[in-house]
Amino acid sequence: MNQSNQKSLQKPQFLVYPKRKAVTQTEAMLYIRVTFQFVTIDKSLGLKIPFKQWEDATTPLASSPFHQIKLEQSVEEHKQKIMGSFFLLSQNGAEPTLREIMDMAFPDKEKQTFSFFSVFEDQILKKERKLTKAGQRSNIGKYRSCLNHLRAFVKQEFNINQISFNRINEGFIDDFENYLRTTGGNGHNSTMKMLQIFKKIYLIGVNNRWTSRNAFAGKKLTMKDVDIQVLTDSELQKLIEYLPEKAYLNKTKGLFLFTIYSGIGYIDVQYLKRKHIELNPNSGQYLIRKRREKTGIEFMVPLFNPLKALLNQWIPNWENLAAETTLAPKISNQKYNEYLKELIALVGIDKRVTTHIGRHTFATTVALENGVPIESVSKMLGHSKMSQTQKYAKVTALKIERETKGLFELLK
C-alpha cells in the first residue's frame, strides 16, 4: 500500500480506564478501550490497582511507580499488537473491521479463524459430501478451478498464500476479473461464471460479518449470448463417411455420433444402462428414458436407427443384458475432448468442436430443421424450461426454404 493511501486510512484510537464490578470495591481492573469505525472493544490489560490511585486519562496513576511502569509496558504492548494487525490487514487499501484487527492481534487458540481460502475449501468439501449425481462433479470442478485461479492471482499480486475477507475490495475484484481474462485465458462468459462462484463464497463472509462491507455491491455479472456451434448436414455426412484408422478415434466417433442422434450429453451417455432403454410393446420401438445426471430432470428419446446400430456395434447382445449393465464405451471427458479435436481435424471440418456440439447438433440439424416441434425437442433434451430450448430455434436458410415451399408455388 502506498504512503498516501496509508495516511488517508482512519486509525484505531485508544483509551485506558479502570473498571470495578461494584462501587464498593477498592481495587479496579485496568482496561484499554479501542475505537475504530465507530465501533468500540474493551480489553483487559491484566492489571489491578487501588482505585483511589486513578486520577484521569492524562495522568492514569497518581502514585506507585511500580504500577505506572507495568501499566505503560502493558499499554504499549497492546498498542503494538493492535496497530501491527491494523497495518497488515490494511494492505492493498482494504479497511479492516475492529473485530478482525482484535482477532488477529489476540488470537484465540480455541476459536476458528476464517480466511477466505479456508472457507472456500470448506464449501467445496461440503459439496463433495452431498454429491449424489455424477454430473455434479463438473460443478465442483468449476469451484475448484475458481479457487485455483484465486490462489494464483493472490500469490502473483501480493505474494501471500492466504487472504482475509476484509482485504477483498472493489479493486481486488476488478483486478481478478482482468486476471481471468488475460493470464487465466478465459472468455467473457467463463469469466462471469468464475466471478459468480467467487461472489457466492464472498457473501458467506458478508453474511457472517467477517468483512465490513459488500465489495460486490453494484458489480454486474452479465452473460453474453453466444452463437451455438453445430454440424451442418454436409459436415455430419463427412463425419459418418470418415473411417478412422486408430481404435481410440473410432470409439470417439461412435460416442460423438451417439450424442448427435440422441441429444444426450457426455456424462449421461457414460452412465447409460440397459434399464434406461425401454421397449414400447404397442409400437415395438425402444425408448431411452433416463434422468439427467446434472439436473435430475427426465428426458425421453426414441432409439433411432443410428443409435441402435451403435449399440449393436458396441455390445451385440445388449437387449439381453442385466438392467445395471453399462452400454457405452468408457472414456474420460478430458480424453474425449482431446480425441474429438483430432478426429474433427482429420475429417476436415473447420470448427472448434467440443462434446457439447453433439447435443447442439441434435437439437438443430437433426431435430428442429427436420420439423420436430420444439416442445418435443425440449423433452428429449431434458430441459426444465422452454426458454432453454428456444436458443436452438434460430431460423436457418434451410428452414425458411422448407417452410415457404408452398408459398413459393403459390406466388409463381
Cell (9 digits) for 79: 498498542
In the prediction, which pLDDT does 132 show? Answer: 58
Beta bridge partners of 27: 50
Of 107, 81, 108, give the one whose Cα is nearest residue 12: 81
* pLDDT band at residue 289 using 50, 70 and 90 as cut-offs: very high
- DSSP string of 13-79? EEEEEEE-SSTT-SEEEEEEEEEETTEEEEEEEEEEEEGGGB--SSS-BSS-HHHHHHHHHHHHHHH
pTM reported for the whole predicted model: 0.59
Instruction: Give the DSSP letter of residue 246.
Output: S
Residue 127 burial (10 A CB sphere; 0-12, 13-18, 19+): middle
Give the three-state DSSP class for 372. coil
**pLDDT over threshold 60, residue 5:** no
In the prediction, which pLDDT does 329 show? Answer: 94
In terms of DSSP H, where are the helices of 276-365?
A: 305-314, 333-347, 356-361
* pLDDT band at residue 89 using 50, 70 and 90 as cut-offs: confident
Residue type, 376: S
Distance in angstroms (rounded) separating the CA atoms of residues 34 and 256: 66
Sheet-wide strand order for 39-50: 13-19, 27-36, 39-50
Distance in angstroms (rounded) separating the CA atoms of residues 226 and 243: 32
Give the three-state DSSP class for 390. helix
Cell (9 digits) for 335: 480424453
Distance in angstroms (rounded) separating the CA atoms of residues 281 and 111: 65
Residue with cell 479501542: 34
More confident residue, 277 or 389: 277
